[in-house]
Chain A
Amino acid sequence: MPILELDQVSKSFGAVPAAEAVSFAVEPGEALGIIGPNGAGKSTLFNLITGNIGVDSGRVLFGGEDVTRAPPMRRCLAGIGRTFQIPQPFQRLTVFENVLTAAMFGNRSSQAEVSGDCARILVDTGLVAHANVPAGKLTLLQRKRLELARALATGPKVLLLDEIAGGLTEAECGALVDLVRAINARGTAIVWIEHVLHALTSVVNRLVVLDFGRVIATGEPAAIMASRQVREIYLGIEV
């Protein structure tokens, strides 16, 4: 049974359709990539999965249960973790407190129970040196790492990553890929929206291509990247 399933999900903003009858499933432990041009509706899809935005029609299933009407908090507790494309840190809380909040509320645990995991996550994401800095003082790249750290701390079964590799150096990107692989190897399913395709394709085993809110292709990364339609959309973007 898929851990996450979208069934004919649609959403439009006024006259702009951001998702049109989108259906796909994510198996437990899978790593799925989502690509598509700017404004294709990728981030909107994440918001529909997490409940930050409500669907117009269609269903979202998590672990076989219909969560279409569940609030974001419920879905987080069920096991959906997400990063925001534009980082949304708790500005006045420190980096450690940001992660601690996610760990305590996302797992319904006490501070003592999760502090060790939080420290570990800060080490893994390279933020431990900034643990006691208010999140509002971080650079954009550090904020993106904090997004990842915070999502990880909720102990997700499915981790939704929205463009976390942009702007990194070669070495940083390699470290990020290793980290996402390690998370995936521990059994967490990954859904990753990414424009940095070489990073994405070195982690995921399946790609979904979105354009104007519609799924236009699904399949193995190599086959997808070879298809003419996708090449046309990505003309000018380095593969």
Chain B
Amino acid sequence: MSVDALSSFRVTTGTRASGAFALVAAALIVIAFAAPLFVSRSVIQNLFFILTMLALAQNWNLLAGYAGLVSVGQQAFVGIGAYAMFGAVILGGMDPVAAIAVGGVAAVLLAIPTAFFVFRLYGAYFAIGTWVIAEVARLVVAQWKSLGGGTGTSLPRDATRSIWGQEAVAALFGVRGPHAADIVSYWLALVLVIATIGFIYRLLRSRQGLGLAAVRDNQDAARSVGVDALRLKTLVYLAAAFGTGLVGALIYVQKARISPDAAFSVVDWTAYVIFIVVIGGIGTIEGPIVGIIVLFLLQNALSDYGSWYLLLLGLIGIAVMLFAPRGLWGFFTDRTGIELFPVRRNLIVAPGATPDKGGPHG
């Protein structure tokens, strides 16, 4: 007799650790939003750095870790996002906070035509292609005279003195204008990180996420079971560009001063980001979180060593790649089985209720 297959099994995704973690994460988010009440301005600035680098790392990890698109040109989207924000403020008279959205849109507008170019390239050629695009974007932006050309420019005083929410925060917290602006930027970074992680986690658990994982593991086989690999990769490329553009714009709202060399810096916006993801663990949401904490601690511990610092970072990166190829989080999760953001779809077949072998489907 055939057992009704639909009543004898179920599909689950969560784990006990992930359930507990959801509560901890909610508490952490509340504390993070309240942090400006009880920490100093320099701590807020450090947290801003951590959050914005984490958002960049999550976006790069989405590209490289999930779609197999190893880009070394994400600085293109940081730079374009930042410059579009500057343009919207200086030339369009927009509020800097509102202009962050312009940065995200500008990054997507750059990503659409360049996607046609880089998606014709594979592996190392793809990486080089993304870098070339970033360099071209930097050179073009350096010709933009009304935004300072090659030397760059600053946000106008009246724009930075009254960004959205700044006055209210200054009054509420009893702090001076620049400090209040930092608090607003910090909150925006927090929102951006939460939104980015939320988006990526939802994507991974969705139908598209499953297709993406299949493409990452074996593109030929994925295409043979009906997965539109190119469409999924394009979706990820555009989403990562949008996210990266938003972060770039936000970083430069806080810096309030821009130049092409800084905004399109491959070291600041791609090399560090790759370090974060590789150290922490590529292809996991937890990895970049671990990675940014490690980078921040190393930066503080090694800041007195000048250029030795970069050399040491490189050596540490190589050591991790050799001894823990899946990063620190991968090393941890392989041994403990703990996952904070589980995506695996487990099939639970009730014991004794196995559907009859050889029976017809359905």
Contacts and interface: CB of A to CB of B under 8 A. Distances in A.
B202 to A, nearest CB: 14
A94 B217 CA distance: 12
Interface stretch (A3-11, A17-25, A98-106, A204-212): A98-106
B218 A154 contact: no
B146 interface: no
B345 A96 contact: yes
A154 B345 CA distance: 18
Contact of A132 (B220, B228, B347): B347
Interface string A50-72: 10100000000000000000011
Interface of B: 5-6, 8-9, 11, 207, 210-211, 213-214, 216-218, 220-229, 344-347, 349, 354-362
Contacts of B213: 90, 92-93, 97, 101
Contact of A84 (B221, B229, B362): B221
Contacts of B222: 90, 101, 105
Contacts of A73: 223-224, 226-229
A150 interface: yes
A178 B359 CA distance: 12
A82 interface: yes
Contacts of A121: 361
A154 B225 contact: yes
Contact of A119 (B220, B227, B349): B349
B344 A124 contact: no
Contacts of B214: 90, 93, 98, 101, 105
Interface in A26-83: 50, 52, 71-73, 76-77, 82
A220 interface: no
Given A101-B211, A115-B11, A116-B5, A96 B346 contact: yes
A115 B349 CA distance: 11
Given A96-B346, A100-B210, A76 B220 contact: no
Contacts of A102: 225-226
Contacts, number: 132
Contacts of A85: none
Given A101-B211, A117-B361, A91 B217 contact: yes
A202 interface: no
A97 B207 CA distance: 11
Contact of B218 (A89, A96, A118, A124): A89
Chain A, interface size category, equals: 35 or more
Give chain B's interface secondary structure class.
mixed
Interface of A: 50, 52, 71-73, 76-77, 82, 84, 88-94, 96-98, 100-102, 104-108, 110-111, 115-124, 128, 131-132, 150-151, 153-154, 178, 182, 186
A21 to B, nearest CB: 25
Given A93-B213, A93-B217, A105-B211, A131 B225 contact: no
22 contacts: A73-B226, A82-B224, A89-B217, A89-B221, A90-B213, A92-B216, A93-B217, A94-B347, A98-B214, A101-B210, A101-B225, A104-B211, A105-B211, A105-B225, A110-B207, A115-B9, A117-B361, A118-B347, A120-B362, A122-B347, A124-B357, A151-B225
Nearest to A90: B217
B210 A120 contact: no
Contacts of A92: 213, 216-217
Contacts of A50: 224
A110 B362 CA distance: 16
Given A110-B207, A111-B345, A186-B360, A119 B5 contact: yes
Contacts of A154: 225-226
B183 to A, nearest CB: 41
B185 to A, nearest CB: 37
Given A76-B226, A90-B214, A115-B11, 19 more contacts: A73-B229, A76-B225, A82-B224, A89-B218, A90-B217, A90-B218, A90-B222, A92-B213, A97-B344, A104-B210, A116-B362, A117-B362, A119-B5, A119-B8, A120-B355, A120-B361, A124-B357, A128-B349, A128-B354
Most buried by A among B211, B222, B345, B346: B345
Given A102-B226, A104-B210, A119 B217 contact: no
B356 to A, nearest CB: 8
A186 B361 CA distance: 9
A123 to B, nearest CB: 5
B9 A119 contact: yes
Contacts of A116: 5-6, 9, 362
B337 to A, nearest CB: 12
